[in-house]
Amino acid sequence: MGVGVKICGLTRPDDLRCASEHGAAMTGFVFFPPSPRSLDPARWRALAVHRDRSIPAVGVMVDPSDDWIAEVLDAAPLEWIQLHGQETPERVAEVGHRFGVDTIKAFGVREAADVARAGAYEAAADMLLFDARSSGPVPGGNGLAFDWRLLAGRTGRAPWLLSGGLNEDNLAHAVRTTGAAMVDLSSSIESAPGIKDRDGMKRVLARAALLCASEDEVHDDA
């Protein structure tokens, strides 16, 4: 069984179909206007027509209001909402319960304390995500990596994803170092923000399918 991949920042039907047909475990869509990958509800409605409904769709939002979440979900459903802002554990749990979705809480990582902070969210979120902390206006999709050794040996009740600066060349090392069972990719498989390099996406999905992460070892058969 390979490492699961969430392909994030999808904006075009052909890219969405490519991700779905070549093994993406999740597809991600950004709903945060400062991001160059952001969708408004009308664009989301048009794009969602091309979804493979067997693959969960994740909406990435930053400190969203209830009204914004409702507007997006009214346009087309999402199975997951990824919260990438300063949301409290209580807010994360509230979003999941109020809107009937599973939740991912994202954490920007620069030091060990950032990883430790995730412990307070174990009961509130269905999944956690660890990304490189950014000082810019957009918290994710910046192509930045952090010290993966900060996640080595991490235990917890909630499953988690590794994100930030992952690409075809470093994916095996990242998985080997962290033990990640699932990864999130966006900018490394783009020719421009929101425009996926479909050949690159196919290669990294094939690469991930050959990786096997466990607490004890990682097999790379490539």
The residues annotated with a catalytic role in the active site are 8, 131
Report phi then psi at 150, rounded to 5.
-65, -20
Which residues does 216 contact at the CB level (< 8 Å), separation at least 6?
none
In what helix (H) or strand (E) does residue 109 lie, and over which residues does it extend? strand 102-109
Is 62:84 a contact under the CB 8 Å cutoff?
A: yes
Residue with tokens 């300063």: 86
